[in-house]
Amino acid sequence: MASKRFYRRFDAFLFVFLGLAVSSLGDSLPVVMATYNVENFHIRPYGSRPVKSVDSRSRVAEILIAIHPDVVSLQEMGEEAALDSLRSALKEGGLNLPYREHLGGSDTNIFVALLSRFPIVSRHPHTNDSFVLDGRRFHSSRSTIEVELEVAPDQRLTVLTTHLKSKRPVPIADESELREQEARLLRHHVDDLLRDNPNTPLVVCGDFNDTPDSKPIRLLVGMGRHALTDTRPGELVSQELENGDDSKHSRRVTWTHFYSQDDTYSRIDYMLISRALKQAWLPQKSFVFAHPAWGEASDHRPVVCAFELMTQ
């Protein structure tokens, strides 16, 4: 009973926090976006992946309802029926995300997905990306979602989301080299978008399975006028909300993944944004969601970013 009261107080604090963000925006358009690896969200046995327990699925829904995002990118999502079950649970909890995208790749056991409050006005799925490594052709483990969302009649937001190769060794090639090549392909899609329109409000997010100092992440962030910004949100702390002190930003708790085999915590989930979108980003309203029961839902924690989009 005590733990339930704590969860309610924690969620109430989050709603107040997000409410302050929205109320301070005046006539502008607030958008909250999340990315979340939901750890094998299967409602039935699927390939080599087990069924996710009812309690664990419920906890995922509880966490997303507490965050209340307008758009959420999902990794390790199960089949389409699993996505529909999550969307139904969210709607029952007051979070209606009617628009969706669901893509599979060469890894047929898990999928990437996206749920949105805003209509999807264009889709450019990347389901057959491939590369040559050591004289052999490989396909990306997971597909990349590319969608354009109509957040207002005169305002659109482009989202790229994927799930790069894990650090688990595989017999066919070195896992780090596979992940680097997948990152290069994702960066290629980013460059194509920004070359055509450098002012594109763009979010590139997902589980990239590597740390900020690694080559794949450096490739994705890039350099020059098409470089992306790593938002690097940290845990939401009430004291920061009260005094606005960001002087210790580098010391904030930013880990997003727990790997039990090595007993390590690391930041491998990202929300990268284009230069055009950086002007609308609200760093003080962006965070890693540190729900007390995060581990019952997934081995990852959600990354959340808030934006203030201006309409004409």
**Which among 210, 93, 250, 144 has a CA at the least distance from the CA of 221?**
210
Residue 56's pLDDT band (boundaries 50, 70, 90)? Answer: very high
| Mean pLDDT (whole number) for 268-273 | 98
Q: Which phi and psi angles does 65 have, rounded to 5°? A: -65, -40
Top pLDDT among 239 and 233 is at 233
Residue 230's pLDDT band (boundaries 50, 70, 90)? Answer: very high
- Name the residue range of residue 111's domain: 2-309
* CB 300 within 8 Å of CB 207: yes
90 contacts: CB under 8 Å, gap ≥ 6: 61, 64, 65, 96, 97, 115
How far lies 112's CA from each of 11, 125, 231, 286, in Å? 27, 11, 21, 23
Tokens at 187, concatenated: 């960066």
Whole-number Å distance between alpha carbons of 70 and 60: 16
The pTM of the full predicted model, rounded to 2 decimals, is 0.89
Q: CB 296: neighbour CB atoms within 10 A?
A: 15
Tokens at 126, concatenated: 């990347």
| Mean pLDDT (whole number) for 150-159 | 94
pLDDT at 245 over 60: no
Whole-number Å distance between alpha carbons of 184 and 90: 34
Residue 285's pLDDT band (boundaries 50, 70, 90)? Answer: very high
Q: How many domains does the chain have?
A: 1
pLDDT at 241 over 70: no
Task: For 159-169, write each residue's pLDDT tens digit.
Answer: 999 999 999 88
C-alpha dihedral sign at 125, 74, 113, 284? negative
Structure confidence at residue 11 (pLDDT): 56
Task: For 102-153, write each residue's pLDDT tens digit.
Answer: 999 888 889 999 999 999 999 999 999 999 999 999 999 999 999 999 999 9
- Indicate which CATH number applies to the domain containing 176: 3.60.10.10
Tokens at 278, concatenated: 């950086």
Task: For 246-261, write each residue's pLDDT tens digit.
Answer: 555 667 899 999 999 8
64 contacts: CB under 8 Å, gap ≥ 6: 34, 36, 72, 90, 95, 302
pLDDT at 278 over 90: yes
In three-state secondary structure terms, 247 is coil
**Which among 217, 220, 137 has a CA at the least distance from the CA of 186?**
220
- H, E, C per residue of 106-166: CCCCCEEEEEECCCEEEECCECCCEEEECCEEEECCCCEEEEEEEEECCEEEEEEEEECCC
